[in-house]
Structure 1
């Protein structure tokens, strides 16, 4: 499933609650506490995405292990920060690879120019840029 598909709001609260294995009122409580933020239709109906359902499942796992909602909030916050750092790291790795490719390209170009300038080449080849 593509990232955009995971974030598309498709489930009404009753379906989301059933998928997450909780009561709809629990979802309202989670929303009040900032644990989940469903999108809203123009008629103000809560709509949950697959990403929301996965988050709700994680919340359920954590609370079933005895972690209270304050702890869950803290864990989710830290996970979000970790995900952001992972993305930043991936972006930096891509940038380093692009720079390394550029350096290699410039070195190759310089090596070719050096060969062309070599004294033992015929004059016609020494004039190449």
Structure 2
């Protein structure tokens, strides 16, 4: 049976992404000394409740992962990804083994549709491994 599909950018979709991130980070055996924040912000995203905009804030505090759906405008983390909705849709429709995936990443970085500040590798390899699971759950 295939995974349920959620529309990219919805609250339910961000909750699914956050839950997958927490699960993967927990299974990776995080150091209890690790403190790190990851923010992904949709630059053209819609406003959510409480003044937040589309995105996700993922924190690891003392080795314990957690997330919040929605990002404060201008919020930054140790790793911050700013991306357009169209670029997110394009990337989340391609599996990591698809040769078009690497090309799409290079294109959205080159055009500025996605900007990455900080070093995502600080989160560990589990973050990269999540991509295909997210694709499986994305409409």
Please give the TM-score of this superposition, normalised by the length of structure 1.
0.23
Structure showing greater radius of gyration is 1
Please give the TM-score of this superposition, normalised by the length of structure 2.
0.22
